[in-house]
Amino acid sequence: MVDDVDEAGAQLQALLAAEAARISDREALYIKLRDAGLIAKVTVLRFLCRQRSCVIGTVFTLGDTVYCHVRDYKFSPGMNAAESSESGRRNNTLDGDHHWPAHVYDVNELAAFDSTAGFHINCRHAHKMVNARELLQLVEGVQPGHPIKPVRV
C-alpha cells in the first residue's frame, strides 16, 4: 500500500513538472516572437481596456494553435483581497502582494478541456473572463497579421 502511494506521488510530481515545462515553453515562445518583432505578424485579435485602451490581451496563432498572451497587472488592495488569498498572493505574484505576472495560454487546450474553461484578462481598469471556445469561434478564419477589430473590455 505504501509503495502505491509513493508511486502515485511520483507520478503526480512528474505530471506537475511536465505542466510547468509546457507553461515555460509558451512564455519563452512569446518572448522570442516579441523580441524578434514578430508579434504583429501572428496576431489575430487584441483585447483593449475600454477606459484607457490598455492592451490587456494579444491573441496570436502559430500553425493550428491559438495562444493568448495576457499582460501583467496590479489590482487595487480591495480587489486584490477579494480575488485572492494571502498565500496565493505570496506564492504567485511578482512582488509577493499585488503585482500578478503575465501568462500565455494555449486557447485550444483550454477549449478542449471544458466548454466553460477560459482565462482572465486584467488591468487596473478592466477585469474579464474570456471563454476559450468562444474565443476560438471569434478568431476562426482570421489571417495572422490581419487582426480583427479589437475587443474592448
- Domain map (residue ranges) of the chain: 39-152
Report residue 152 as a C-alpha cell: 474592448
Alpha-carbon distance of 127 to 5, in angstroms, equals 41
* Tens digits of pLDDT across the chain (153 residues): 557 667 766 676 765 565 566 667 899 999 999 999 999 999 999 999 999 999 999 999 999 999 999 998 888 888 888 888 999 889 988 898 888 899 999 999 999 999 999 999 998 888 899 999 999 999 999 999 999 999 999
